[in-house]
Amino acid sequence: MPRLATLFVGSANRPEFREASAGLSRWGEVERAADAEAAVAAIRDGRIAPDVIVVAQAFPGQFSHEAIDRLRREAPLARVLGLLGSWCEGESRSGSPWPAVARTYWHQWPARCDWELCRMARGERCSWAMPVTASDEERILADDEFHGEAAATGIVVVRSASREMADWLSEAARRRGFSAIWRHSADDVPSEGVRAAIFDGTDLGDRECDELRRLSAAVQPAPVVALLPFPRVEDERRAISAGAGAVLSKPAAILDLFGRLDALLAGGGTL
């Protein structure tokens, strides 16, 4: 298997970053640095010659544009990836995002990390390996090129209160080869043939948690992926305790949604 040397910059012990930090070791050598200064020192001291630099930003402004530029100057051939925490969700609208950096939120990372890093290690095309000038839209379109093929069978239950959202999710499932059915609630779910379920949530209040719990019970042992707006770590924990196998932010990219769903199906409903 091709290997990558990765420099992880930021707090690897934060709850939203633990899984990402631990998983990088599957792809080769990993050096961890608490901040940009420590990362620069690790490169200069020869502790690592990184192929990939993952900058884990817990809140907007934690790492300045100047800090990113310093990392680029020290390792000009390395690919810089932004791993963003819960409080960075609105940064692209009201903050000052780093230019020319592929941005991935903490809840997106598990779905795409292995797929992207595998292709990067092999020198194959993927959104993380696109030119640094590529826009977010171009990266999304590139992802869609690889994930539009039919590759699955069985029924996916889409639980959503929105017809528009249900239509989009159902069409995405059909493109993957599934049969998709839309349900307003968990009370009218088929008893046979269900491979997976997608739960379109809003606030994950007590009523929604109960609905998610009933959906999970109705489709067992099929896994459930929950979609939530701007999920925090505590939202993920609450959804998982209610029966979700994975949690993603919405709108979710097809790559993220079916990456998580494929992993759940391969793992028997657990990650």
Compute φ and ψ for 204, nearest 5 degrees. 50, 40
State yes or no: pLDDT of 53 exceeds 60. yes
- The more confidently predicted of residues 253 and 203 is 203
Per the prediction, the chain carries an average pLDDT of: 87
Tokens found for residue 231: 């999920």
Q: Where residue 230 falls among pLDDT bands split at 50, 70, 90?
A: confident
Range of the domain at 174: 155-266
Q: How confident is the model at residue 191 (pLDDT cuts 50, 70, 90)?
A: confident
Give the angle 237-111-202 at the CA atoms, nearest 5°: 45
In terms of domains, do 45 and 177 share one?
A: no
In the block, tokens 């939120």 appear at: 105
Q: Examine the domain organization and report whether 139 and 163 are in the same domain.
A: no
Residue 271 included in any domain: no
Quick check: is 223 in a domain? yes
CATH number, domain with residue 120: 3.40.50.2300
Give me the residues paired with residue 158 across strands: 182, 198
The model's pLDDT over 207-217, given as tens digits with 9 standing for 90+, comes to: 999 999 999 99
Q: Which two tokens stand for residue 205?
A: 């209040």
| One domain, residues 17 and 141 | yes
Of 146, 175, 203, the domain-final residue? 146
- Let me know if residue 1 belongs to a domain: no
Chain position carrying tokens 């049969």: 179
Domain boundary residue, one of 114, 146, 178: 146
Number of domains, the chain: 2
Asked whether residue 189 falls in the same domain as residue 168, the answer is yes
3-state secondary structure string across the chain: CCCCCEEEECCCCCCCCHHHHHHHHHHCCEEEECCHHHHHHHHHCCCCCCCEEEEEECCCCCCCHHHHHHHHHHCCCCEEEEEECHHHCCHHHHCCCCCCCEEEECCCHHHHHHHHHHHHHCCCCCHHHCCCCCCHHHHHHHHHHHCCCCCCCCEEEEECCCHHHHHHHHHHHHHCCCEEEEECCHHHCCCCCEEEEEEECCCCCHHHHHHHHHHHHHHCCCCEEEEECCCCHHHHHHHHHCCCCEEEECCCCHHHHHHHHHHHHHCCCCC
pLDDT reading at 271 higher than 60? no
